[in-house]
A and B are shown apart, each in its own frame.
Chain A
Amino acid sequence: MGTIIKDYSYTPAKIKHGYSGKSLYINLSDLRIEQKEITEFMKEKFTGGKGFDLWYLWHAVTPETRWDSPENEIVMSVGPLGGITQYAGTGKTLLCSISPLTDIPIDSNVGGYFGPLLKFSGWDAFELQGKSDREILIFIDGNNGRIQIEEAGEYPEDSHLLAEALTKKFAEDEDDMVNVSVVCSGSGAKHSYMGMLNFSFYDPRRKVCRFKQAARGGLGTIMHDKKVKALVVKYRGVKPNLNDPADIATINKVGVKYHKEMHDLDQKQNKMRQIGTANTVMIMSQYDLLPTRNFQTGGDPETVKISPQVFINEWLTQGLHDGCWYGCTMACAKCADHFLITTGPYAGQRVTVDGPEYECAAGLGANLGVFDPQAILEENFYCDTYGIDLISFATCTAFIMECHQRGQITKEQMGGLDLRFGNSHAVLELLHQMSRGEGFGRIAGLGVRNLKRVFVEKFGADPKLLQDIGMEVKGLEYAEYAHKESLAQQGGFAMATKGPQHDEAWLIFMDMVNKQIPTFEDKANALYYFPMFRTWFGLVGLCKLPWNDIVPTDNHKTDSPAKVPEHVQNYVDLFNAVTGKNIDKEELIVQSERVYQFQRVFSVRMGKGERKDDYAPYRSMGPVTREEYLSRQELYDKQLREFQKLDPETMDLDEKIAATRRYREDQYEQLLDAVYRRRGWTENGIPTPERLKAIGMDLPELLEVIEPKL
């Protein structure tokens, strides 16, 4: 038991139609705890979730604030629908902060119990500002209205141990453990810019703490810098009406309809209940979309070794508790039980590994040339318990491996680590070094953008090559989809507000396979609608997966099957039923756009968010190297003939690569122009006052930022 250094009592606010109306503010520098009002203005303009986070963050920071400035905040909010138990995927928390990787606002969404339990404890949002002078944990007792800050130096650092220790500490008995949720990171977050936050949920059948991750952008790094070892919330008494919905009958009706779909159709569609998001690994490889060896190619014959069926048959336990919030019948949070660890500090121990999700199998597997399920699971475990974002880690390590492959960095310069594609032992040792803050692991943890500079300055690497193959935009590493043949997705990644994460838009099939969006205007419309629509999940506390990872049987009869109109209507109905408001599907998009445009202006305020910041590395857009061109020579030659009226027979390989590049880079410029017009931005990517006014966001503080840029 650490010494309690702050004890604060409060009266938990009663939730009314999805909102408690209160937010919690804790300043770690002076241990100040305050309550703030959630105003009608905030609900109207920002809805909740990421909207509230960004609004608070805006007021906390200045353009000079960096990730480790005391005034930087970690803000989290679950949104007005968060915590309902009648529909699938209703426990998502959104977090925002100024990222160590990008210097702009990052947003990251996460399941687990913390966010809903926080709201039921009386708090719509939670701001953490300042820095503690010693390691602490914060405990929120939602039933008794108490917040305690306690010294935490004695607790273990890595997540699987820390969450277990704290869950036992704060639960009264075994039955009470499901009422406790822990947010924590791990030793790797302390020594890298890609630290993430684990959000726990206790699994009473396995008797372990499970985790979902707020992975992107270094949130764990920031929490370590603030010397916060863990956040703990405890709330007993979750039930379906805690949000005080205006119309619970509609929620029940929509929920029952959806659960029936899940029961009847999942096995015929994506098998989310059996394998989760990793169901797409083979599909991605077959469609040339699985990033392989640093996105050089889109698949590999060896992918079959890490296919969903391999994980289902040999590693994942079926039929247990796999929802990360109550009522989620999609239950896609799969895990491998009694997994034997073979390296590092936990070698010889058997653990539960949450995963692998698609990004894990693709990133830590194919993108590193590791086609070994056991190695992937061990990498997965260590990324999670060390508190490292496995997407950034995988993309960063893939970049290092290709630099090594191409002679840009030697084994000696990597401290003796033989980081060549396929060497999972070296990957695991890199993780252990990152955890210990030693050797090349400490350098690798800086992320791709910083590594490009280090490799050029220290090792004399070729800056042009590194720019082409270093898969980052705005400083954030790419998520795990190869997408050279989808111009729309090139934009979907590179124009994404926070950096190249796929939660804004995933348009590859619509664009590359279905050919549904052939013109620039079509692509621009898709790059308007989908980012706006998907932003909404993060405003209200919902998971994206139930939207389109299962669809109604008559979805094909609708005029826009890709939007899954029946499910969109479900969301409209749920929002109205909880809040008592009366929005329609058009107003839903406006709610999102208000926050989307706000975040873009926020990035402008922090020095990014302009056209120059929306360019992709060429590896995202086309073949950088001769090997890449030759791997799909037939396709590229055909495109030279059809798109540019060139005769590849008269060109040498370098000329063909150069002509392909000129064409594709020109296409991307035209895409930027079209999307900016559609989003109401200037040619330089700045939201216009007219657009902000049209959506009710012509706030003085936003106009002050954009006017000098017009």
Chain B
Amino acid sequence: MIKVNTEDYPWHAGMTVRALLDEKLFTFRHIIVRVNGEFVPEEDYVSTMIQDGDDVMVLHLMAGG
């Protein structure tokens, strides 16, 4: 199990940041990802592995029209 934006979410082996965003349908382009507080640049989403127990923050930067 991992945390995604403070809520429990099931973890599976081989989970990358990219895979997590796809699973969660986080399609908004304007986001910030932090894993255990560490910023993950967009170019590293595919290569960054998420470990069981990680705390993932996916911050959507939009405050409306």
Give A residues with C-beta under 8 Å from B: 268-270, 277, 280, 282-283, 286-287, 357-359, 481, 502-503, 505-510, 513-516, 518, 530, 544-545, 548, 551, 555-557, 561-562
Contact = CB atoms under 8 A, between A and B. Distances in A.
A556 B28 contact: no
Nearest to A544: B65
Contacts of B5: 513-515
Contacts of B7: 515
Interface residues on B, range: 20 to 34
B62 A506 contact: yes
B59 to A, nearest CB: 5
Contact of B65 (A277, A286, A515, A516): A277
Nearest to A556: B32
A506 B65 contact: yes
5 contacts: A270-B30, A283-B28, A287-B28, A506-B65, A509-B63
Nearest to B33: A556
Interface in B26-65: 26-30, 32, 39, 57-65
A359 B65 CA distance: 9
Interface string B4-29: 01110000000000000000011111
B30 A502 contact: no
A505 B62 CA distance: 11
A502 B58 CA distance: 23
A487 to B, nearest CB: 15
A338 B6 CA distance: 50
A555 B61 contact: yes
B39 to A, nearest CB: 6
Contact of B64 (A287, A506, A556): A506
B32 A502 contact: no
Nearest to B40: A556
Given A359-B65, A506-B65, A556-B39, A513 B60 contact: yes
Contact of A508 (B26, B58, B64): B64
Contacts of B60: 509-510, 513-514
Contacts of A481: 64
A64 to B, nearest CB: 36
A545 B28 CA distance: 17
B6 A561 contact: no
A519 to B, nearest CB: 12
Contacts of B64: 481, 502, 505-508
Given A269-B30, A286-B27, A518-B6, A561 B63 contact: no
A280 B64 CA distance: 10
Which residue among B27, B29, B30 has the maximum number of chain A CB atoms within 10 Å of its CB?
A: B30
The 8 closest A-B pairs by CB, nearest first: A506-B64, A509-B60, A556-B32, A515-B5, A515-B6, A286-B27, A509-B62, A502-B64
B63 A530 contact: yes
Contacts of A268: 29
Given A286-B25, A518-B6, A506 B39 contact: no
Nearest to A358: B65
A272 B58 CA distance: 23
B23 to A, nearest CB: 13
Contacts of A509: 28, 60-63
